[in-house]
Amino acid sequence: MSQPLVLGFETSCDETGIGLVRGQTLLSDALATSMAEHERFGGVVPEIASRAHLEAMVPTVHRSLADAGVTLRDVDAIAVTAGPGLTGALLVGVAAAKAYALALDVPLYGVNHLAAHVAVDELEHGRLAEPAIALLVSGGHSSLLLVPDLAQDVQELGRTIDDAAGEAFDKVARVLDLPFPGGPPIDRAAREGDPRAIAFPRGLTGPRDATYDFSFSGLKTAVARWVEGRQRAGEPVSVADVSASFQEAVVDVLTAKAVRACRDHGVDHLVIGGGVAANSRLRALAQERCDAAGIVLRTPSPRLCTDNGAMVAALGSRLVEAGVPAAPIDLGADSSMPI
């Protein structure tokens, strides 16, 4: 018998993602985004995101089915992001997923968004060697996870104590008058700059900071102060140098802590996911440090690093395979769902 066909719903932030996965094979990954509507606010507006999910939901489900060449009747299970994320946005996805599960009489799985960011890598690189360490960096989260078993046992080693890494990129971009979201333009500008031009602080990396937690708010403030200081003095600001130096400070800390987590836990596989994993310097430095430490690095292609429905279907597929009980039909959403 063929493996079950899993339909995944992702609505934790501004992307309405509907994906179809069979086993670990990606069949389709339809996406609608309300990003353009948030741009002028410099960040995602929850109310706008929720309304956009509602409007995009059914057309995106239909697109996902058509892309995969299947019909609703072929679906064997449904998985939905139940948290963490924006409450209103999550609720639209959970309500829709429940309706489809009830109508089709198939099991429903509520999944954790962070674990789904790890699971998506299996669609491109095959089964994850467990235990693994996962570094998840996006606009909403920055977490270091120990993954003994992706379906049933994922532990958080550390997280940001203030801003998420992507949030820092977005805020620094604003200081530099670059568009939102700030990651891609900073990544591009940094290619022309000198990462050693300005010595920005590396949070929580002192000799006594054994923690796996991250802190990016001091760095963001340091960049803003530096830029303001130059502007006040009437001196030019090199967007390329500030971008490169800021970016280096972020990726230096992320990769150092991820590699240390691998070493401390005797783990030789690292997965990096989330929107910031699309960053070219993060990918290059992580590869360099993993090679030096004998760690196998796995990074999904940039398209799958950002939020999408396939990642939810991928984790759902693992849950079905592991025989994890389906969620009750009163499944809710939890904006700060622990891993």
Nearest distance from C-beta of residue 274 to ligand KG4, angstroms: 5
Q: What part of residues 307-326 is at the interface with Zn ion (CB under 5 A)?
A: 307
| Structure tokens belonging to residue 64 | 């996902």
d(CA 160, CA 140): 10
Would you say 153 is a known binding-site residue?
no
Would you say 162 is a known binding-site residue?
no
d(CA 16, CA 9): 8
Residue with Cβ nearer ligand KG4 (14 or 122): 14
193 binds ligand KG4 (CB under 6 A): no
| Structure tokens belonging to residue 297 | 């690095």
Other C-beta atoms lying within 10 Å of the C-beta of residue 11: 36
Would you say 112 is a known binding-site residue?
no
Q: What part of residues 3-42 is at the interface with ligand KG4 (CB under 6 A)?
A: 13
274 binds ligand KG4 (CB under 6 A): yes
Q: What part of residues 88-147 is at the interface with ligand KG4 (CB under 6 A)?
A: 138-140
Nearest distance from C-beta of residue 264 to ligand KG4, angstroms: 26
Amino acid identity of 246?
F
The binder of 181, among Zn ion, ligand KG4, none, by C-beta within 5 to 8 A per type, is: ligand KG4
Would you say 139 is a known binding-site residue?
yes
Quick one: which of 6, 139, 21 has its CA closest to 79? Answer: 6
The residues, any chain, with a CB within 8 Å of residue 321's CB and separated by 6 or more, are 3, 23, 151
Other C-beta atoms lying within 10 Å of the C-beta of residue 232: 8
Residue with Cβ nearer ligand KG4 (157 or 178): 178
The residues, any chain, with a CB within 8 Å of residue 133's CB and separated by 6 or more, are 144, 145, 146, 147, 157, 258, 261, 262, 265, 267, 269, 270, 271
**β-pair type (296-298, 269-273):** parallel
Point out the residue whose Cβ comes nearest to Zn ion: 138
183 binds ligand KG4 (CB under 6 A): yes
Residue with Cβ nearer Zn ion (12 or 60): 12
Site string for Zn ion, 289-308 (x = CB under 5 A): ------------------x-
Would you say 183 is a known binding-site residue?
yes
Nearest distance from C-beta of residue 243 to Zn ion, angstroms: 23
Quick one: which of 168, 100, 103, 158 has its CA closest to 309? Answer: 100
Count the residues of the shown chain that bind Zn ion, applying the rule CB under 5 A.
2
**Three-state secondary-structure class, residue 307:** coil
| Structure tokens belonging to residue 170 | 């977005």
Q: In the 8-state DSSP scheme, what is residue 2?
A: P
84 binds ligand KG4 (CB under 6 A): no
Phi, psi for residue 39 in degrees, rounded to 5 = -50, -45
278 binds ligand KG4 (CB under 6 A): yes
Q: Which residues are annotated as a binding site for substrate?
A: 136-140, 170, 183, 187, 279
In the complex, which residues of this chain contact Zn ion (CB under 5 A)? 138, 307
Q: Which residues are annotated as a binding site for Fe cation?
A: 113, 117, 307
In the complex, which residues of this chain contact ligand KG4 (CB under 6 A)? 13, 138-140, 166, 169-170, 181-184, 187, 274-276, 278-279, 306-307
